[in-house]
């Protein structure tokens, strides 16, 4: 993509300089602002500006010089093959996809990764179907984001299942879950193992399942724990 971008600047800029100026401002402008002020900058933060880059790159094929025709075609084929292989791994086995280090850690390895959320939602749906009159309360770490919002996306239509955010990095069972259990509700806890600082066995919880995340470069891995009160 960079090669075709440079080609455009060299051969088409003079004729389409107004269009190129607008497209590059729309592409590079937001990235420059984010780079100036953002404390953390990852690839997903610039996705909204990529359509302007794609239009700019595609314009290289408006007037292809004879000398450069095969040159551009080769780079287009290479780019297409790499993209297809990358998409193949994302669909079939995301852990093998050549993601940048920051993206892999966020999407696959750390607390932001979503492994196990869908499986936990299926368990909860089946439990609720088998116990239609029983109210279910599920505590999740945090109050927004991957866990509470991700789980709610799967369970939005289950009115007897209540999802409650219970904070981060606690050592004992949060009071909302204790109160729910005392009220007779079936109570679960969905939390990443590195965010629960206590001993779930001593707290009287039962481990239903543990969903491992992708392996870190040092060979370790985190996991999502799905617990309930017996």
Residues 201-216 pLDDT 10s:
888 889 999 999 999 9
Q: What are phi and psi of 199, to 5 degrees?
A: -110, 110
pTM: 0.77
Q: What is the domain partition of the chain in residue ranges? A: 2-109, 117-228
Calculate mean pLDDT across residues 106-126. 92
Cβ-Cβ contacts under 8 Å for 165 (sequence gap 6 or more): 139, 140, 141, 142, 143, 144, 148
- Which contacts qualify for 124-130: CB closer than 8 Å, 24 or more apart? 124/155, 124/158, 124/161, 124/188, 125/154, 125/155, 125/158, 125/161, 127/186, 128/158, 128/160, 128/161
Which range is most confident: 2-6, 10-14, 110-114, 119-123?
Answer: 119-123
Closest of 74, 76, 98, 101 to residue 85, by C-alpha: 98
Identify the pLDDT of residue 215: 92
What is the arithmetic mean of pLDDT over 130-146? 90
- The mean pLDDT value for 135-139 works out to 93
């Amino acid at each position: 993509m960079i090669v075709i971008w440079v080609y455009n600047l060299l051969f088409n800029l003079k004729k389409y300089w107004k269009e190129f100026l607008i497209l590059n401002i729309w592409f590079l402008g937001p990235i420059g602002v984010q780079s100036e002020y953002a404390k953390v900058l990852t690839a997903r933060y610039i996705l909204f500006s990529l359509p302007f880059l794609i239009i700019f790159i595609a314009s290289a094929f408006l007037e292809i010089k004879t000398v450069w025709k095969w040159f551009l075609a080769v780079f287009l084929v290479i780019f297409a093959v790499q993209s297809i292989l990358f998409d193949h791994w994302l669909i079939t086995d995301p852990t093998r996809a050549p993601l940048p280090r920051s993206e892999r850690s966020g999407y696959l390895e750390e607390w932001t990764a979503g492994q196990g959320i869908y499986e936990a939602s299926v368990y909860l749906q089946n439990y609720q179907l088998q116990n239609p009159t029983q109210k279910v309360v599920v505590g999740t770490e945090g109050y927004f984001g991957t866990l509470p919002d991700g789980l709610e996306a799967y369970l939005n239509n289950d009115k007897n299942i209540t999802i409650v955010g219970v904070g981060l990095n606690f050592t004992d069972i949060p009071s909302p879950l204790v109160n729910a259990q005392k009220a007779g509700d079936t109570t679960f806890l969905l939390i990443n193992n590195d965010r629960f600082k206590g001993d779930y066995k001593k707290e009287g919880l039962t481990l239903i399942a543990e969903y491992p995340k992708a392996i870190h470069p040092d060979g370790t891995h985190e996991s999502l724990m799905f617990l309930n009160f017996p």
